[in-house]
Amino acid sequence: MPTPAERSLAVFPGGSLGEYDLPPEMTVVLARGKGCHVWDTEGRAWTDFTMGWGSALLGHAQPAIADAVQRQAVQGANFAYVTEPALELAEEITRAVACAGRVRFCASGTEATAYAVRLARAFTGRGKVLKFEGAYHGAHALGTASLFPRRLLAFPEPEPTSAGFTAAALRDILVAPYNDLEATRAIVERHRGELAAIVIEPLHRCTSPRPGFLAGVAAAAREAGALLVFDETVTGFRLAYGGGQAYYGVVPDLAALGKALGGGYPIGAVAGRADVLELVREDRMGDPRYVWWASSVGGNPVSAAAALATLAELRRAGTYERLFALGALLRDGLRATLTKAGVAAHVQGDGPLAAVVFTDGEVVDYRSAHAADRRRARAFLLGLFRRGIFLNPMSTKLYLSLAHTEADLEHFLDVARATLEEDVP
C-alpha cells in the first residue's frame, strides 16, 4: 500500500500544491490543524510557522470562523451574485482601508494584483508597470518577473523567474531596486508618459521601507500621472487593521487584498478610488476604458462570512499589540540565538512577520539579500522542518498568528538552536 506521501508524489508535480520545494523523502500530507499546530497523516505534530502562507492569521480551525462558515454553508455556498455577507464585508473594507472608495472581489491575491494592474492600464491608457526586484505579486507575468533573478541585469530590465510568458508581456515590466528612491525616480522619469502604475508591497517581503521611501514613490507616481498600487496581500489587516497604508501613512490609488482577509478561506479583492473601480461597471462595456471583471466564486458568501468573522476578531482591543509583541519576541529571540551560535545573519520583518538572511551586511533590497549564504538558509529551513517546525522551505519568511503563544516561540527558538548547532555549516 503506498503511503499518503508516495501518493502525493505520484499525482502532484513535486508532491506539492505549489512553491514547496521539499526533498521527496520529506514529503508529508497534512490531516488537520488547530491553533498554530498541524498534524500529518502519520499522526506527527508540527508547530506551524507558515500558517497557510499567512492566510490563517487567527490560527487554524478558529472557532468563530468555523462557526460562521458552518452557518453560511447551509445557506448556500455560491451564487456569483451579491449576498448580505459580501455586501457587509465590502462595507467593512471601505471603513477599514483608507483608499477603499469601492471594492470588487475575486478569489486570490494573484487575481487581485492582476485586476489592479489592468485597471491602472485602462485608467491611464498606458502600458508599462514598474515593480521592485524580488517582489512577488502573484503567479502572473508581473508577479514573477525578477522574483528570484540570478543574472542581476541592469535596471529596469526584468528577468523572468518563470517560463511561459511572452517577450511582449515582459517588455511592459520595469524593475527598480526597492528602497532606492533615486534609481526609482530615474526609471519613472525615463518612462513617464508610458507608465500606468507602480506596484509595491509596502513591506517588501520582510524588508522595511526606509523613511520617506513610500512617500517618495507615491510622489513619483503622481508626478508621472501613473497610479500607485499597494499589493497588500500580505500587509492587509496584518500590519494594522487598515493595512500597510495605515501603518506607513501613505495612501495608494488601489490596493490588492487577500490572504489574512479570508481567515484561511479563498479571497481576493481590489479596493480603491471610485473613479478607477467604476471602470468595471458592466454598463460601460463598449467604452474603450471598460475593464472586464468576472469571477465565478469571487465574493462567495462562505469566504465572506469567514472574512467577517476574521475582521470582527481583529477589531478586538489589543489584537495588534499582541501580534506585534509576538513578532518582536520571535525576531529578538532569533537574533540572540544566531549571535550565540556565532552565525552571521540579519533578522528582518515587522509585525507578526520574521525572516532570517544569512549575511553580515545590511539588507535593504533584493541584491543585498541575494548576496547572503543561501546554502545556509536552506540547511536551516530544512533542519527546522525535520525537527517539526512547519514552514515553507523556499523562503525564510515566518508567519505568526494570534494562536501562537510565548511557549510556541520558545519551542521554535530551542529547535533553531539545535538546528544551527547540528545542521548549519
Ligand X SMILES: Cc1ncc(COP(=O)(O)O)c(C=O)c1O
Shorter beta-carbon distance to ligand X: residue 83 or 113: 113
Rounded to a whole number of angstroms, the minimum distance from the CB of residue 200 to ligand X is 10
Indicate which single residue of 72, 144, 233, 337 sits in contact with ligand X (rule: CB under 6 A).
233
Q: In what helix (H) or strand (E) does residue 277 lie, and over which residues does it extend?
A: helix 274-277
CA distance 128 to 121: 8
Rounded to a whole number of angstroms, the minimum distance from the CB of residue 118 to ligand X is 15
What are 290's three cell numbers? 471598460
Give yes or no: 231 in active site.
yes
Range 46-85, binding ligand X (CB under 6 A): 53
Q: Does residue 156 have a cis bond before it (omega within 30 degrees)?
A: yes
Shorter beta-carbon distance to ligand X: residue 102 or 137: 137
By the rule CB under 6 A, 373 interacts with ligand X: no
Contacts of 255 (CB under 8 A, 6+ apart): 97, 99, 100, 116, 229, 230, 231, 232, 236, 243, 245, 270, 271, 272
Residue 19 identity (one-letter amino acid):
E
Rounded to a whole number of angstroms, the minimum distance from the CB of residue 390 to ligand X is 16
Instruction: Determine which one of 48, 172, 231, 253 is catalytic.
Output: 231
Rounded to a whole number of angstroms, the minimum distance from the CB of residue 177 to ligand X is 18
Say whether 189 sits in a helix, a strand or coil: helix
Q: What is the DSSP track for 39-88?
A: EETT--EEEESSHHHHT-TT-BT-HHHHHHHHHHHTT-S--SS--HHHHH
CA distance 259 to 237: 9
Shorter beta-carbon distance to ligand X: residue 252 or 333: 252
What are 251's three cell numbers? 495612501
Rounded to a whole number of angstroms, the minimum distance from the CB of residue 414 to ligand X is 28
Indicate which single residue of 172, 231, 253, 350 sits in contact with ligand X (rule: CB under 6 A).
231
Contacts of 305 (CB under 8 A, 6+ apart): 68, 69, 71, 72, 85
Instruction: Determine which one of 48, 115, 131, 136 is catalytic.
Output: 136
Q: Which stretch binds ligand X (CB under 6 A): 133-141, 208-216, 315-323, 338-346?
A: 133-141
Shorter beta-carbon distance to ligand X: residue 5 or 237: 237
Which residue, chain included where needed, has cell 526609471?
187
Shorter beta-carbon distance to ligand X: residue 35 or 138: 138
By the rule CB under 6 A, 258 interacts with ligand X: yes
Shorter beta-carbon distance to ligand X: residue 233 or 368: 233
Q: How far is C-alpha 183 from the chain's CA centre?
A: 25
Q: Which stretch binds ligand X (CB under 6 A): 39-47, 227-235, 246-254, 313-321?
A: 227-235
What are 90's three cell numbers? 465590502
Q: Which stretch binds ligand X (CB under 6 A): 8-16, 231-239, 278-286, 336-344?
A: 231-239
Q: Which stretch binds ligand X (CB under 6 A): 26-34, 39-47, 131-139, 187-195?
A: 131-139
Range 81-110, binding ligand X (CB under 6 A): 108-110
Q: What is the DSSP track for 351-397?
A: TTEEEEE--SS---SHHHHHTS-HHHHHHHHHHHHHTTEE--TT---
Q: How many CB atoms lie within 10 A of CB 47?
A: 21
Range 275-334, binding ligand X (CB under 6 A): none
Q: Which stretch binds ligand X (CB under 6 A): 135-143, 175-183, 191-199, 215-223?
A: 135-143
Q: Which of 1, 19, 21 lies closest to 382, judged by CA?
A: 21
> How many Cα atoms occupy the beta-carbon half-sphere of 286 within 13 Å?
2
By the rule CB under 6 A, 136 interacts with ligand X: yes
Rounded to a whole number of angstroms, the minimum distance from the CB of residue 365 to ligand X is 16
Site string for ligand X, 195-214 (x = CB under 6 A): ------x-------------
Instruction: Determine which one of 128, 172, 248, 259 is catalytic.
Output: 259
Rounded to a whole number of angstroms, the minimum distance from the CB of residue 55 to ligand X is 8
Rounded to a whole number of angstroms, the minimum distance from the CB of residue 369 to ligand X is 15
Residue 244 identity (one-letter amino acid):
G
Q: Where along the sequence are the contacts to ligand X (CB under 6 A)?
A: 53, 108-110, 113, 136-138, 201, 231, 233-234, 258
Provide the annotated active-site residues. 136, 231, 259
